[in-house]
Amino acid sequence: MNRIKKHLTSYQYSIRGIWLAFRYEHNMIFHLVAAIAVVIVNSLLKVNKTEWLVTLILIGLAWMAEIFNTAIEKLADRVTKEHDPLIGQVKDLSAGAVLIICFFATVCAVIIYLPYLMGLKY
Ligand SMILES: Nc1ncnc2c1ncn2[C@@H]1O[C@H](COP(=O)(O)OP(=O)(O)OP(=O)(O)O)[C@@H](O)[C@H]1O
């Protein structure tokens, strides 16, 4: 019973983490809007199962990267708020990870949607 309670509590902490990301990271709203837009476009174009899976995985990866980025930024700020070249690099690396997934998500969106928009798929 204690184990189950502990397990449920950890879900509570995780959900709090997602809520904190929305509170502290303005880019999370951008990711949410982008995710809603993708779901709407997918539904309108009636994309196939594989295309749904690819888009959902990419949405999850982008959110995950943004939340990790927020966590790393917070930790870095706890280490020092003073100007520190290494802290700068850590933050840049973390932001770079978000940019990478966003870039590849955009490339995948073009690959998935272009045939529909060109009338090659319906
Ligand atoms: N303590 C620091 N020392 C050196 N450079 C820093 C430091 N803090 C931030 N920087 C530099 O400024 C950039 C922006 O940092 P900041 O903490 O404002 O993140 P941000 O990307 O603007 O945050 P957000 O995700 O909220 O937009 C970092 O990527 C890094 O290059």
pLDDT in tens, 97-111: 999 999 999 999 999
Q: Per-residue pLDDT averaged across 7-23, rounded?
A: 92
Tokens 């888009």, located at residue? 55
Contact 50, 59 (CB under 8 A): no
CA 88 to ligand 1 centroid distance, Å? 6
Which is nearest to 109 in space by CA: 65, 59, 49? 59
pLDDT beyond 90 at 1 = no
| pLDDT score for 122 | 60
Count CB-CB contacts under 10 A for residue 93. 11
pLDDT in tens, 33-74: 999 999 999 999 999 999 999 999 999 999 999 999 999 999
Query: Measured from the CB, is residue 87 less than 6 Å from ligand 1?
Result: yes
> Helix or strand or coil: residue 77?
helix
| pLDDT score for 2 | 82
Count CB-CB contacts under 10 A for residue 104. 13
Contact 53, 47 (CB under 8 A): no
Domains, the chain, ordered by start: 2-117 (1.10.287.3610)
The mean predicted confidence, pLDDT, of the chain is 94
Name the burial class of residue 35, with classes exposed (0-12), middle (13-18) and buried (19+) by CB atoms within 10 angstroms of its CB: middle
Query: Measured from the CB, is residue 7 less than 6 Å from ligand 1?
Result: no
What is this structure's pTM? 0.89
